[in-house]
Amino acid sequence: MVEGDTAKRTAKPRVAGTPGTPSSPLGERLRRERDRLGLSLRELARRLEVSPSLVSQIETGKIQPSVRTLYAIVSELGVSLDELFAPPASSQAAPQQATAGASRRATRGASPEPSTDRVQRVHDRRAIELESGVRWERLTAWNDPDVEFLYATYAVGGASSPEGTLVRHNGREFGTVINGRLGVTVGFEEYVLEPGDSISFESSIPHRLHNDGDIDVRAIWVVLGRYHSSRSVELDEDAGGH
């Protein structure tokens, strides 16, 4: 249980990123969306109340954002999380190759294969690497702004936000743990989910997911209706939190 008299305040994120890969797909997608809106790097930083250098480091892949920071950025840009899983425009050759393959099968008289747009093959999952060993893999084969359907991995010590901080946003969350023990803070309540356990809660309630165990946590996570407003994220921090 979180102490009921703990003072809280609404704040913008203090980004405490971890080293990333230069020119990472995530950073590139964020930069593309910012450019599409005609926002300067400095203006986005001003709206997020962080330094321009931090935004630049995220966009160039020098650091990875935390979950809460990513939500703050995509909410400010007005994009769905699914859009960030899409590959850059420069790597769109795969669909053409697939079409060519289908044409060759038809020429040989082979039976046509069923549509694959309903199925997300495990080897084709698109992923986002976040701060402190958090990894999200998209489980849908297409972009759906109303549903975030994720295979989530929290490495040992990984968390959706730094200790002492909580995040809230639009939507409702559902999750079940496959492996490990996942700590979930929802409001003033603290839960520990073990394999097979599940949880659901309103995302507007300040919350935090964290792995304090000694093995990686793997979970299936769903967020419904987060993308209902471009200004959906508020960050709650305990007094003195980082």
Distance CA 146, CA 172 (A): 11
pLDDT of residue 79: 84
Residue 114 counted as domain residue: no
Average pLDDT rounded to a whole number, residues 39-60: 92
Q: Which of 10-19, 203-212, 229-238 has the highest mean pLDDT?
A: 203-212
Q: Rounded mean pLDDT of the chain?
A: 78
Residue 18 counted as domain residue: yes
Residue pair 177/115 in contact by the 8 Å Cβ criterion: no
pTM flag (> 0.75):
no
Eight-state DSSP code of residue 123: G
Q: Residue 131: give the domain boundaries.
A: 13-87+119-238
Residue 166 counted as domain residue: yes
Distance CA 191, CA 56 (A): 36
**Which helix (H) or strand (E) element contains residue 97?**
helix 94-107
Q: Residue 93: pLDDT above 80?
A: no
- Determine the residue type at 127: A
Average pLDDT rounded to a whole number, residues 106-115: 47
Count other Cβ atoms within 10 Å, centred on residue 55.
Answer: 26
pLDDT of residue 9: 33
Q: Residue 61: pLDDT above 60?
A: yes
Query: Dihedral of CA 69/71/77/83: which sign?
Result: positive
Q: How many CA atoms lie within 13 A of 34 on its CB side?
A: 20
Categorize the per-residue pLDDT at 69 as very low, low, confident or very high, splitting at 50, 70 and 90. Answer: confident
pLDDT of residue 49: 83
Total count of domains within the chain: 1
Residue 98 counted as domain residue: no
Distance CA 222, CA 219 (A): 10
- Determine the residue type at 76: E
The contacts found for 91-98 with CB under 8 angstroms, 24 or more apart, are none
pLDDT of residue 98: 41
| Portion of the chain with pLDDT greater than 90, in percent | 45
Distance CA 131, CA 17 (A): 6
pLDDT of residue 53: 92
Average pLDDT rounded to a whole number, residues 97-110: 42
Residue 109 counted as domain residue: no
pLDDT tens, residue by residue, 145-180 = 889 999 999 999 999 998 999 999 889 999 999 999
Distance CA 148, CA 143 (A): 9
SS3 of 199, please?
A: strand
Residue 104 counted as domain residue: no
Of 11-15, 43-47, 77-81, 144-148, which range is least confident? Answer: 11-15
Distance CA 94, CA 207 (A): 39
Tell me how far the alpha carbon of residue 219 is from its chain's centroid: 14
pLDDT tens, residue by residue, 225-241 = 887 544 444 455 543 33
Residue 101 counted as domain residue: no
Residue 203 counted as domain residue: yes
Categorize the per-residue pLDDT at 114 as very low, low, confident or very high, splitting at 50, 70 and 90. Answer: low
pLDDT of residue 144: 82
Q: Residue 91: pLDDT above 80?
A: no
Top pLDDT among 103 and 182 is at 182
pLDDT of residue 142: 84
The CATH number covering residue 159 comes to: 2.60.120.10
